[in-house]
Amino acid sequence: MDVDINCTANRREFLATMDFDVYASALVTAPSGDPQYFFTTSCVPGMSYNFGAYENEHVNDLLHELSTEFDTARRAELAIELQQTILDDNGYVFCSFLEMSMISKANVHNWNAHACDYYEVTVDLDIG
């Protein structure tokens, strides 16, 4: 496989050409703990992160149900079904790896590393 890397400041303009075979992107959705954001922005036609123009009517139906469901257990079931449907379609390849370095001065207190960014800044964090 030949690889041509296109590192551009305006990815949306490049992606609009649809002149690519593989597009890799990072989308951080863990802080909310809710699956709906990823699916609605990345798996619905015309949405901001649906760069590959993925479309599936069953996924759309599940997303409509997810948008009106408040029971967390049922939302989790819907998210699993959505993931499996998208995987079965080969619509996305999911991978995850986060490497993070944290450096602070000696006067920073109560800074605790967390597996997910954003959670380091808490009410207990102090500079003294």
Name the one residue in this structure whose structure tokens are 């041509």: 4
> Taking the domains of the chain in order of start, what are their residue ranges?
11-88, 100-128
Give me the tens of pLDDT residue by residue for the chain, a chain 128 residues long: 777 887 777 877 887 787 877 777 777 665 566 789 889 988 999 887 887 889 999 999 999 999 999 999 999 999 999 999 999 999 887 776 667 677 788 899 988 777 666 667 788 889 98
Q: Which pLDDT belongs to residue 97?
A: 65
Summarize pLDDT for 59-77 with one digit per residue, the tens.
999 999 999 999 999 999 9
Name the one residue in this structure whose structure tokens are 């939302």: 75
Question: What is the CATH code for 11-88?
Answer: 3.10.105.10
CA dihedral 109, 113, 117, 120 (to 10 degrees): -20
Do the beta carbons of residue 15 and residue 23 sit within 8 Å? yes
Cα–Cα distance measured from residue 97 to residue 35, given in angstroms and rounded to the nearest whole number: 18
Cα–Cα distance measured from residue 25 to residue 56, given in angstroms and rounded to the nearest whole number: 21
Beta bridge partners of 109: 126
